[in-house]
Amino acid sequence: MMMNLKNILFGAMLLVVASSCQKQEEDLVFGESPDVRMKAKIDSINNALTTAPNGWKATVGTGLKGGYGFYMDFDDQQVVKMVADLTDASATKIEGSNYRVKQDNGATLIFDTYNYISMLNDPNPSVYNGTIREGLRSDLEYRFLRSNADSIIFVGKRYSQQLVLAKATAAEKEAYNTGAYKTGIDKTKIIFQSFKNPYIEVNIGGVATKLALSIFSGTKTLDIGSVLPDNKTVLNTFKFAFNLKGFDILAGGNHRDLVFTKGEVEGNSIFIHDIAGNKYEIKNSANPILPIEVMFSFDGAFNAITIAGTKQPEGVSSSFNSIWTALVNFHAANGMVTHSVNFRLSTSKVAVLDVRFQSGSTVYLASAEYNYTLTDGVLKLTAPIATNGNWNNGWVSTAVRNYFSGGEFKLTYISGSDPNAGTLGGLIKVSDPAAIFYGKLSKL
């Protein structure tokens, strides 16, 4: 009886083993192993990269600035040749480097040797104005995300910025290889500089609406702002990269009900295109489109007025100019360099004036806080409610202190003569309209 039971158990084990082997054989017949599937995926990506007859137009975003444009041509010897919109030289000089596609937590495109993408990742600030250790927060390794017949999309493994490749035409290949990229970039920048207060007119929910634009070639970013029906503002910042005919807006330029995709030069004009195929001409206004009263608040599109460096924005007449010059000279006489001055609304009740000055690589801060009210564009400050040591030790001149302490100001836009200064804002003293503190409007 015992022998029969052992035989039954042994027979059952044989059936289990046989069933398992049969199941494995069936899996291999009807579905490939993960290694085989990954190899097929890598081979497919390599084939797509190398067989595009005219190469690829590409864009990539960065974590610290905007987007950057490239033309890339991959060969079957794992060499990619490229131009890029980083500098005048990179837009015209074709450089080659090594690449490979390998399995690394998915199929991954890796740029092995130094190239124009590497410049965005360079930790030496002198190479391309990046930060020490992180560069502009751009990647050298990109994981495959998805593809279709005309494009491949990868995403950076560390900073999650998308690298988008789109097939180029024969004419585009010729243009990129013969220096036309720089010509297109230069023309786009020249038109940018001609705008004082650019805007486009769109239709949102059946209502004709003006959208204000701020275009920053240096940071490769585009701001689009508008006033909502409840009189609140919405401001979206997008990254862009230059192409042969204008610029591409990266990762979906969503503003309210519209999605903007690119800007394209036609003659001496630029048109913004949306995802539905509509285009809108960028127009120029003598005055800013959006009222500063709805744009400037502690939680608004702007909350600060900033002077960076030792020079104020050019072309503005104000008695504050002499106060500023005296502050810069005072710092210089004491072995310091004026670094920046920021006036900002930090909360709904507290405003802060930060004066920074520098010795060598060390930046010092003198700071004062004020209670304030802001009603209908009129800002009223109390005397300082808190100050720090450098403020108390005299690193801020009496004239600057007196300008702000207990002051009443009219908030306004300011017109300067430098087209690259950005949108300027000012605080005009109600008691002395010739006295204007002014600088770039910013969000801090």
SS3 of 148-190: the string is CCCEEEEEECCCCCEEEEEECCHHHHHHHHCCHHHHHHHHHHH
Q: φ and ψ at 312, to 5 degrees?
A: -80, 160
Report the alpha-carbon angle 160-161-163, nearest 5: 125
By the 8 A CB rule, do 209 and 201 touch? yes
Q: What is the pLDDT of residue 185?
A: 97
The secondary structure of 284-330 as a DSSP string is E-SS-SS-HHHHBSTTSSB-EEEEESS-PPSS---THHHHHHHHHHH
Q: What is the pLDDT of residue 19?
A: 46
Report the alpha-carbon angle 194-199-202, nearest 5: 145
Classify burial at 9, counting beta carbons within 10 Å of its beta carbon; exposed 0-12, middle 13-18, buried 19 or more. Answer: exposed
Q: How many helices (H) and strands (E) does the chain have?
A: 11, 26
Tell me, yes or no, if the pTM score tops 0.95: no
Q: How many residues does the chain have?
A: 444
Rounded CA-CA distance 14/288 in Å is 84
CA gyration radius, the chain: 29
What are the tokens at 19?
């069933």
By the 8 A CB rule, do 109 and 142 touch? yes
| Element (DSSP H or E) covering residue 118 | helix 116-121
**Residue 238 carries which DSSP code?**
E
Rounded CA-CA distance 329/335 in Å is 10
- The list of the chain residues with pLDDT below 70 reads 1-31, 419-420
What are the tokens at 339?
């670094």
User: Edge-to-edge, what's the strand order for the sheet holding 233-242?
Assistant: 279-281, 269-274, 258-266, 246-255, 233-242, 221-227, 207-216, 198-204, 283-284
Which residues share a beta bridge with 372? 381
Alpha-carbon dihedral sign for residues 399, 405, 408, 410? positive
3-state secondary structure of 50: helix
3-state secondary structure of 370: strand
Q: What would the pLDDT profile of 11-54 be if each residue is shown by its tens digit?
A: 444 444 444 444 444 444 446 788 889 999 999 999 999 999 99
| Element (DSSP H or E) covering residue 205 | none
Q: What is the pLDDT of residue 288?
A: 82
Neighbouring CB atoms inside 10 A of 145's CB total 14
| Element (DSSP H or E) covering residue 373 | strand 362-375
By the 8 A CB rule, do 410 and 428 touch? yes
Rounded CA-CA distance 213/282 in Å is 9
By the 8 A CB rule, do 57 and 165 touch? yes
Rounded CA-CA distance 212/412 in Å is 17
Q: What is the pLDDT of residue 193?
A: 87
